[in-house]
Amino acid sequence: MKKTIKLWLLICIMLPMSSFAKTDLVEKQASGYGADYQEALTSALMDAVRQVRGLQVSSEKQLKLEFQHLIKDKTENKQATIGVEEDIFTRSKGWVHSYSVLSTEKPKDNNDTWKVTISAKIPVHESKMKDDKRDSIAVMPFRFSHPTFAINELGKPSDGYQMSGRIRDRIQTAFTQTQQFAVVNRSFGGEFASEKALLSSDNVSPMEASRLGNVVGADFMIVGNIYDLATKIEQKDFYGMKKVLITDSIDLSYQLIEVATQKVLWADTLTEEISRKEDDDPTKTLDAIAMMILSGVMDVLYPVKVLDVAGKDEIYLNQGAARLKAGDALALFGEGRVMKDPDTGREIKINGRKLGVLTVEETMATHSIASLSEGELSKVKAGAVVRKLIEAEKTDPYKDKEVRATPGSSEAPVNW
């Protein structure tokens, strides 16, 4: 009985592990042309792989050499019988599982070429994220204008290359946590090249080698320039007590680019000052930069929207902790309109009128829960856009009230 239980436990453990390396076979018909039979067959195999998995120039040259080596003994007299499947999975390092020759056409004269038509089964590694329909985005290292910046920790200047990498990492983390994008990694080129070389070697099985050629291209790219990062430290005395004020100033620009067209969809320059406590390191400022860039891009592509309305104190929003935090005040807008610019013909999305204010009560990884602070519940509809209120827009209960001067309200000494 115990042996049976152990066997079932082992099977349950191994099943999910094997699912990570699942490979499907895709059958494609392809034709190739060449001066001889071998060259035409090689061309047909290349075309079959290209149809299913695509090929880069470097991979194509190497694969062509491998196919030529595989079929070097395939002559007109020794060619595979029409319709008979030949397994070359292992010998092709997983690029082709098997193929069968459907037809051959010999040259009719000295100026003609061979034509070979095949049906090939191409192994394709099935990603665990195969059904991911989200747009993909890549965050590139920001360029920097100085080798070092004056933004510092304990009075030490910061290396420009290091600061660029730290900013990129935080932006990439912020976009990943929104779960609105499939974030593609462009940070560890050397490590990926090493892994690719391993998969291409004789040290791995053909099944593992079939993982090659599955790198996802980016739909969007974020690039930027860092012009200045600086820290200003002030020390003030208040009746014998010393207080250190630290202010980081930033000056950088960034662009959101559609990779296929290289069109700039959004661009902004951040010239800001961010205060931090004496015991805070510059990480706080870097996180603030990442959030400003995230908000700028997301407001263009994916603004926060109402997901569902269960009650005045239970309004669900479609984005979570990566963009919102408890206490955030959000302006609620009515149904917008799409207008066409008469000069350019460009369609412009216009928000509807402001209908009320929501307050974020709780945030999760995938969504948030808010309550209605101002406005009518009946006007809160699923799909409505909400945007953060800036500080000046938030209600100030003392805005129009006169404040009576009291002893100690100025910097002058108190007269008791």
154 and 261 both lie in a single domain: yes
CATH classification of the domain holding 60: 3.30.1660.40
Chain-centroid distance of CA 124 in Å reads: 23
Residue at 8 is within a domain: no
CATH classification of the domain holding 325: 2.40.10.410
* Res. 55 pLDDT band, cuts 50 70 90: low
**Distance (Å, rounded) from C-alpha 21 to C-alpha 15?**
11
142 and 275 both lie in a single domain: yes
Q: Which tens digit of pLDDT belongs to each residue from 127-152? A: 655 556 788 899 998 998 888 888 87
Q: What is the pLDDT of residue 18?
A: 38
Cβ atoms within 10 Å, residue 196: 15
268 and 285 both lie in a single domain: yes
Q: What is the pLDDT of residue 13?
A: 40
279 and 226 both lie in a single domain: yes
215 and 311 both lie in a single domain: no
116 and 152 both lie in a single domain: no
Q: Which tens digit of pLDDT belongs to each residue from 153-186? A: 655 678 888 888 889 999 999 999 888 888 887 7
Low-confidence winner among 68-72, 273-277, 337-341 (lowest mean pLDDT): 68-72
Residue 302 dihedral angles phi and psi, to the nearest 5°: -140, 80
CATH classification of the domain holding 180: 3.40.50
Residue at 4 is within a domain: no
Residue at 351 is within a domain: yes
Q: Considering only CA atoms, which of 207, 183, 182, 203 is closest in space to residue 194?
A: 203
Low-confidence winner among 21-25, 77-81, 231-235, 407-411 (lowest mean pLDDT): 407-411
Q: Would the pLDDT of 192 be above 90?
A: no
Q: Using the 3D structure, point to which of 249, 279, 299 is the last residue of a domain.
A: 299
Q: Would the pLDDT of 9 be above 50?
A: no
**Distance (Å, rounded) from C-alpha 320 to C-alpha 14?**
34
SS3 226: strand
Q: What is the pLDDT of residue 198?
A: 59
Q: Would the pLDDT of 321 be above 80?
A: yes
258 and 189 both lie in a single domain: yes
* Res. 15 pLDDT band, cuts 50 70 90: very low
359 and 340 both lie in a single domain: yes
178 and 148 both lie in a single domain: yes
Task: Please state the domain count of the chain.
Answer: 3
74 and 95 both lie in a single domain: yes
**Distance (Å, rounded) from C-alpha 357 to C-alpha 377?**
11
Structural domain containing residue 223: 136-299
* Res. 222 pLDDT band, cuts 50 70 90: very high
Q: Using the 3D structure, point to which of 73, 101, 125 is the last residue of a domain.
A: 125
**Distance (Å, rounded) from C-alpha 70 to C-alpha 38?**
10
**Distance (Å, rounded) from C-alpha 165 to C-alpha 173?**
12
Q: Which tens digit of pLDDT belongs to each residue from 236-245? A: 777 767 778 8
288 and 143 both lie in a single domain: yes
Q: Would the pLDDT of 108 be above 90?
A: no
What is the SS3 assignment for 126-140?
CCCCCCCCCCEEEEC
pTM of the model: 0.60
Query: Which tokens hold the place of 234?
Result: 């002030």
Q: Using the 3D structure, point to which of 299, 321, 355 is the last residue of a domain.
A: 299
Q: What is the pLDDT of residue 233?
A: 83
Alpha-carbon dihedral sign for residues 87, 89, 92, 98:
positive
150 and 270 both lie in a single domain: yes
**Distance (Å, rounded) from C-alpha 51 to C-alpha 28?**
8
Cβ atoms within 10 Å, residue 232: 13
